[in-house]
Structure 1
């Protein structure tokens, strides 16, 4: 037994692989349960990452402003960053939701008039065909009865939902509890983020050599830098698109310009298709005022969205994360096909980090092969003689 070494690690890996294959459905159910349980914590970590972009410069400003604020700098920065984040979401809801409800009510009141105008137009169009014209004129829609049926259907749907009140209350309670856990976890991470960094270095010192620890730290720093740059680039791109949309709507004298411009800019955080989501809501709002203006808005949005997607977005986001513009488009298409909206959003910073790491790896290989000079061994250029 001493003469032959038994590859225990290989045996354990093969055993685990066989058990995984034999119990594939059970493993998937377990992973799904684990994912659902950890989802509030994962979302809390994502929220902490975004809030830290706001909190860090504010905390530094408080610490440099006055020595008296040094101990209170972090609580103040966390509170203000949360207020800013909640304020942005609340402002968007206040801007959009009331106007959306009012537009729906207005559309319900104006639909009969639009239908009558359409009937008159079709009657004149088919005046040479009396049978078709008489049929169009004979169409008489009882709008009151239709709206009563729609209201009754909605009421029955609400009644059916109320019959399963336990399920509804459970879902609302679960969502509320998860939101509170997410918020508390995010605040905890922000308040004591240095502890997690120290824990990481302690674990690396226990289980990894110095060289591997340095390599892993470099990889994590690269991914962190890519995600930071991506968030900043997305916000910059959203601000530019929202401003262009607002100015264009003012130029064409379209209604709700500030509100729709804000909505288009915020939804543009979803790459490529986000602006069309906000534009669809905006087109509906404009349609309640004038169908012709809605058509003008739709054409204008398509033009500005094509310009933004092909010119502004690849340059701003691509340059901010260090990814060439053509790769940004490719990543969005592939990420969207594989994982939908999440693939579009997460694909760009992940691809940017991988691109940077691969570029460094290839550069090191070329230096070792003598295909390019080593910048660390290049002699420094002599300065001008004094």
Structure 2
């Protein structure tokens, strides 16, 4: 029998899954978000079970309660100052642009002996005014539409409420679910599929469980440090720098430049505050390189930054929010499959075959 004929069910199932994602994307978000949270929390549950010898329902309840309480406290503590900083940024943005024209650009011209065009304040002010007006109008239209349709409110609230419910029950039955999926794999292919699945899990663990935790902790370090030195936009800049650390050194560069500009605008050319900003980001870099990266990621090979950016953008373009949630797992699977395909090609007879060429060369030497 032709081996390719045995593969058509795999391609048919893959095509069916893609179609189902496209057709059901409006309701898949809470299930995918809940599955992602369950995947992130499953190692904690297993550790509690092995360390304290508790049953899985007890460990799941402990992890779920701790996560819910921590998230609630974080939102209560973070949202008010974050909102005040956004209001402050909006009110001070015109002054910041004038400061760039009157002080920053002249200093750059004097220091580096070059000419730099001034910012067109009228054009920027007009653009900002139109942007905020459009944003306000759009927000008003959305609120009006939502207020007019109580079903939309109930649907949105129901979808959001489903996330912790899905997470809890998936976490409760995670081991059984994985075992059931493993038992569905044909026995002759189970070792290979299991090895590939383990590699995919390792890649995802290195990025989702590792890199996301590193980003979160770096954001907390940066935001807390900048707030301690008195920077009024410390939380916004710190969190952005933490999120930007998904790309090596990108978050550090963006964060320290933004914080330095904020210091110059808030305190003037204050060397002490500039040094303190540098100290905060150097502490973050030391913690990332010597503590966070080795502990949470180790020597695992995660997803390359360019792959992450492309996968998220492509998933969002194809399937919206659902595609963005599916982007990283799919990218991890594709990367592992490509790695196996590359290894198979390098080990193949087609790639390593040299006998015919050697025979040809030998015959030519004999003839000569």
Q: With structure 1 as the length reference, what TM-score do the two structures score?
A: 0.55
| Cα offset, 1:357, TM superposition | 4.5
- Distance in 1 (alpha carbons) for counterparts of 2:345 and 2:143: 62
Match of 1:191 among 172, 177, 191: 172
Partner residue of 2:191?
A: 214
Matched, 1:177 2:158: yes
Partner of 2:309: 336
The corresponding residue for 1:322 is 300
Say whether the 8 Å CA contact 2:256–2:277 is kept in structure 1: no
Q: Are 2:30 and 1:40 aligned?
A: yes
Is the Cα–Cα contact under 8 Å of residues 214 and 293 in structure 2 kept in the other structure?
A: no
Could you say which residue in structure 2 is the equivalent of 1:126?
none
Deviations 1:161-185 (A, max 9, x none): 4542456644443332222333222
Q: Distance in 2 between matches of 1:78 and 1:108?
A: 43
Cα deviation for residue 119 of structure 1 reads: 11
Aligned to 2:145: 164
* Secondary structure of 1:340's aligned partner: helix
Q: Say which structure, 1 or 2, has more relative contact order (CA 8 Å, 6+ apart).
A: 2
The structural deviation recorded for 1:48 is 0.8
Counterpart in the other structure of 2:239 = 263
Separation in 1 of the partners of 2:268 and 2:191? 61
- Whether the 8 Å contact between 1:237 and 1:312 is mirrored in structure 2 is no
* Residue deviations 1:223-273 (CA, integer Å, cap 9, x gap): 12322233343156336745764697589x453698568635753574456
Does the CA-based 8 Å contact 1:238-1:269 persist in structure 2? yes
The DSSP-based 3-state class of the residue aligned with 2:197 is helix
1:275-354 → structure 2 map (5 Å cutoff): 289-290=266-267, 296=274, 300=278, 316=294, 320=298, 322-323=300-301, 331-337=304-310, 339-340=312-313, 342=324, 349-350=332-333, 353-354=336-337
Secondary structure (helix, strand or coil) at the match of 1:164 reads: helix
Give the corresponding residue for 1:377: none
Alpha carbons 1:321, 1:352 under 8 Å: kept: no
Alignment counterpart, residue 234 of structure 1, candidates 211, 219, 233: 211
Contact 1:254–1:286 (CA<8 Å) still a contact in 2? no
Q: Is the 8 Å Cα contact of residues 223 and 237 (structure 2) preserved in structure 1?
A: yes
User: Given that residues 78 and 190 in structure 1 are in contact (C-alpha distance below 8 angstroms), is that contact kept between their aligned partners in structure 2?
Assistant: yes
Alpha carbons of structure 1 residues 177 and 35: separation in structure 2 relative to 1, 3 Å: same
Kindly tell me: are residues 172 and 297 of structure 1, through their superposed partners in 2, closer, same or farther at Cα, counting changes over 3 Å? farther
1:62 paired residue among 52, 75, 80: 52
Distance 2:333 2:20 in 1: 27
The whole-number CA distance in structure 2 between the counterparts of 1:57 and 1:161 is: 45
Does the 8 A contact of 1:255 with 1:286 survive in 2? yes
Once the two structures are superposed, what CA deviation does each residue of 1:131-163 show, in whole Å capped at 9, x if it has no partner?
xxxxxxxxxxxxxxxxxx999998866654454
Give, in angstroms, the shift of residue 33 of structure 1: 1.8
Match of 1:93 in 2: 75
Whether the 8 Å CA contact 2:237–2:258 is kept in 1: the answer is no
The gaps in structure 1 that reach 5 residues or longer are 21-26, 64-69, 122-148, 370-386
Change (3 A) 1:243 1:355: farther
1:103 matched residue in structure 2: 85
1:230 and 1:321 in contact (8 A); partners too = no
Q: Give the direction of change, closer, same or farther, for the CA distance of 1:314–1:255 in structure 2 (3 Å limit).
A: closer
* Counterparts of 1:151 and 1:363, CA distance in 2: 56
Q: Say if 1:41 and 1:201 are closer, same or farther in 2 by CA, change over 3 A.
A: same
Give the drift of 1:52.
Answer: 0.9
Q: Distance in 2 between matches of 1:346 and 1:301?
A: 36
Q: Structure 1 residues 196, 183: closer, same or farther in 2, change over 3 A?
A: same
Relative to the length of structure 2, the TM-score reads 0.57
